[in-house]
Each structure stands twice: as C-alpha cells, then as structure tokens.
Structure 1
Amino acid sequence: MATKPGGDKITRYIVIGMVVFVVAIGVVFSLVSSKSSGSAAAPSSVSKADGYGMVFNADLKGKPVVDVWEDFQCPVCSRFEALNGAYVQQLITEKKAKVIVHLLSFIGPESILAANAAACAADENKFLAFHSYLYAHQSPTENSGLWTGAGLLKAGAAVGLTSSEFAACVTSGNYSDWVTNVAADGAKKNINSTPTIFVNGKEIDRNTAYFDAAAFAKAVEG
C-alpha cells in the first residue's frame, strides 16, 4: 500500500502528542487531589491531625487505634461492613478502641455526595446509623443516581434525620471541601484501594484479616 512521504513521522508525532497530553492530565489530577483547604467546614468530630478523619473515642488511651479508609460506593467496602461493621461499632460504643473513619471518594460524584451527607449526619449524632444504612442499601451500579440529593435525604429519613438543617447541609454540599481534604490526605499516604485498615499505624493483612471476622478481631485486639 502506498503511503504519503513523511506519513510515519506525522503518525509518530500524533502518538507522542497524545502521550504527553495523557501524562499532563495525570499530573494535573495528582496536583488537584493533593491539595487541601485549611478553611473547609467539618463536623466537630473531625481531626486534622488524624487525616481529617471522623474520630470516635478521641481521648481514649492505652487502646488500639483503628483507621478505616472506605468509599460508600465500594462493593468490597460493603462486604467488609456486612462482616465487621457491627464489631467496629462495638469497639466504639464499648470504648475498646479509638476508631477513625476516612471517607474517600475514589469512585465518583456520588461518593462525594454520600460522604458529605454522612458528615451532615454526624452533626446530629447519626453518623453510625447513616453509615450502616448506606452500605446496606448500596447500589449494584456505581454513580447510578441512588446517592444524589433525594436519595440521600430518603436515607437520612430512614434513620431519623428529618431536620431542615440536615436537608440544607446535604443539598448545599456543606462539607464538600472536607471530603476533598480527606481525599488529599489519602493521596499523600498512598491509600489507593478501599477498604484499607490500619491498626496502630500499621496496615493489617487484607488477604487474611479483612474478611475473616475472628482474624480481624485478633488483628485489632491481639
């Protein structure tokens, strides 16, 4: 087949240009995801020192510190919650551990909206109930439209969140900058999958401890 003189060179330039473009986009995304806002509104239980996580039993001493990194749209997180969620709540309510929940938003817009709504729920001391509800009713399809404004308000109502303050917080995206801060902190710490669990600053073995309830409890409490 005949080709125009210089055709291979032109094709090569196009390919090189596309590679440069993709790399540039990746760099921009990395820079954006690594930025955080020092003035972001956040629930009172959030600690900047703890990676902008939602902290339970903040003043507890001499007990394990459990960091849970998760995304409300993550199906593996839903599996983890179904198996270990009640135990994690027990750690909190019985003051057996300091638990820090980091709500990531890897999967897209509805992860951001759900994380914001969970922070709104925290304002009314309903974070844990709302958290459990979202995982129990997770959509099988990512960004399906389930966790948008109306769906999140319905989820809130299911756990007793019916105030105008909650509705305004959800619909305005009051804590969206805080969600960005959590994402930026996760990027700095190379958290690249969910769930990711640390106990006393060390990641536990996801292959043996995440989906074996007894092994998970042993990893936490020894």
Structure 2
Amino acid sequence: MATTIKKILPYFLTSIFAVGLWWILTWTDNYAWNPVGKELLMLEIALISIFYYKTLFWLVIANVTVFTVRQLLRKHYKTTAISALLTISFYFFVGQVVDKKCAFHYYSVFHNQSVSEEYIDRPILEAGYQIGPIVTENIADKEMKYRRYAIGGLEKIGYKPATPTLIKILLDKSEIDVFRADAYEALTAFDTDETRKILTEFKNQATDSLDKKVVGLGEYFIDNK
C-alpha cells in the first residue's frame, strides 16, 4: 500500500497543481470587475471552455514530464529519451490544436470583459498568435468594441497577416484618426518590406491635415509606448 501511494503521489500532486493553476487563471473575477448579466454569462462559458482545454492539455504534459524525470533518476535512459520526445511532440503539435480551439473563447473573453484599461488586451496576449485571424476579421468593423486594444493586441502578438486590413484602416479617410494612427503604429512595428513601403508612401503623400495628423499621432504613440 505504501509503495503504491509513493508511486502515484507525484502524479496526484502534479495533477492537483495543474487543475488548481488553471482554475485560478480562468477565474471569472479576473476578467469581470463590473459584470453585466449577459456579458457575465458569456465570460463564464468562454472561461469554462478554456479551463477544460488547457487543464487537460497541461495534465498530460505535467504527468508525462514527471514520468520522464522518474525514468531519468532510475537511469532508464532509453525510456527517458522516448518519453521526452513524445512530450515535446505533444506540446508543439497538440498545443497548436488547443490554442486554435481556445482562440474563439479568448476572443469572447476579450469582447465581454469589464476590466481597467491596462488589462483590456490581456486575453489577446494570453491567446497568442492563433487569435490573430479572429481579431483581424473583427477590426474591419468600425463599431467594434475595444477596437483600439484589438489593433494593439495584433501588434503585440506580431500577427503580420493582419497587414492588409491595417493598411485599409490607415488609408481610409472616413476612419477616426486615432484608429488610423493605431494602424500606423502596428504597421511600423511589423517592419516588413510591405509595411515599410506603404508607410513611406503614406508619409510622403500626407499633404492634407487629416493624413498629417495621423502621421503625427502614430509617431507620438510609437515614441510613448
């Protein structure tokens, strides 16, 4: 009995830690400081989904890692190598699938949260690169909630496929100048051949007051990050 407990205890403790960690990270209170009925419900649904995906993923990673370490300590090097290879493969390949599954739910968190300004883009950063397509699609909507933070989030996760959408925002004179300046800032951060060319042309052709204001605001945002 004692031997059995000794064998399973590391896995049990590791599992408790993984579940507890993601329970804390997906706490509704982390994202709902001033919750409203429907928004709170949508938040809870999204966070529960993230909790299940992330917890199951990290339970596997954590417990296989424990197994690998135990095999290494026992000098079972062949088993250790195989286990380590499987863990790394699982992390990268299954991790991408999990991130894609969670991306929609993180966007729901972003859209329905009620936090202070400095934390608004946090769900985008937590979701990472896989949320890029969803955010890019939605920033095309001029009435999008938290649009500025969405554009900034794309910049922070380095989602360069958003470039065409950001260029449209930058060049659209019917857009509010702040949004155009946000697009200017993000395109500058991407720093690709395409974005450098577009920005150079835009600055050279900025002859009216609106475009000049966008350039000025964009440069101000860049200088005051």
**For the superposition of Structure 1 and Structure 2, which TM-score range results when normalised by the shorter chain?**
under 0.3
Give the structure with the higher percent strand. 1
Give the structure-2-normalised TM-score. Answer: 0.27
Give the structure with the higher percent helix. 2
- Based on CA coordinates, which of the two structures has the bigger radius of gyration? 2
Give the structure-1-normalised TM-score. Answer: 0.27
Higher relative contact order (CA 8 A, sep 6+): 1
